[in-house]
């Protein structure tokens, strides 16, 4: 009986070619293809400075909100004005900087964000009593 199975279902010349091309197709499809180059972004170390100062009327202080060296939004409770914070940060690709205040008394404040000594964002508020004033700036590092 085994003799009949092997002689009856013996692969012919066409079936061997089909098996060969199928195997070749599977091998070609499974080969790892080279992907395109990923864009390379430069890193840049910048000096960031935040400033908040009274502008008109009496604003003695408040809760200061800012983005710190690690990119984390931080709240500094009950700081007196003028407030200033300066630090260095390495930027990869982009970074969002935020600065804000929740004032204790009515009045106006002037907020500034400086990058490498140049003012990149500024805001003079009308009145900040019991409300939050925020400014933001996005640093974008170009591709190489």
Q: Mind listing the pLDDT tens digit of every residue in the chain (144 residues)?
A: 555 455 555 555 656 677 766 676 676 677 666 666 666 667 889 999 999 888 876 667 788 999 999 888 888 888 888 899 999 999 888 889 999 888 777 778 889 999 999 999 998 887 655 567 788 888 887 765
Order across the sheet with 61-67: list the strands. Answer: 73-80, 61-67, 94-103, 132-140
What pLDDT is attached to residue 66? 92
What pLDDT is attached to residue 87? 94
Q: Is 103 exposed, middle or buried (0-12, 13-18, 19+ CB in 10 A)?
A: buried
What pLDDT is attached to residue 57? 67
């Amino acid at each position: 009986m085994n003799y009949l199975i092997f002689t009856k279902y013996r692969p012919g010349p066409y079936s061997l070619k089909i098996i060969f091309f199928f195997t070749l197709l599977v091998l070609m499809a499974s080969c790892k293809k080279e992907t395109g180059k990923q864009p390379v972004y430069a890193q840049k170390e910048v000096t960031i400075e935040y400033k908040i100062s009274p502008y008109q009327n009496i604003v003695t202080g408040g809760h200061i909100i800012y983005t710190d060296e690690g990119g984390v939004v931080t709240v500094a409770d009950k700081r007196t004005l003028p407030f200033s914070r300066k630090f260095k940060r390495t930027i990869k690709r982009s970074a969002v900087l935020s600065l804000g205040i929740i004032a204790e008394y009515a009045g106006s404040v002037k907020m500034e964000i400086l990058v490498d000594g140049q003012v990149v964002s500024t805001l003079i508020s009308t009145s900040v009593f019991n409300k939050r004033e925020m400014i933001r700036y996005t640093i974008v590092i170009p591709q190489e």
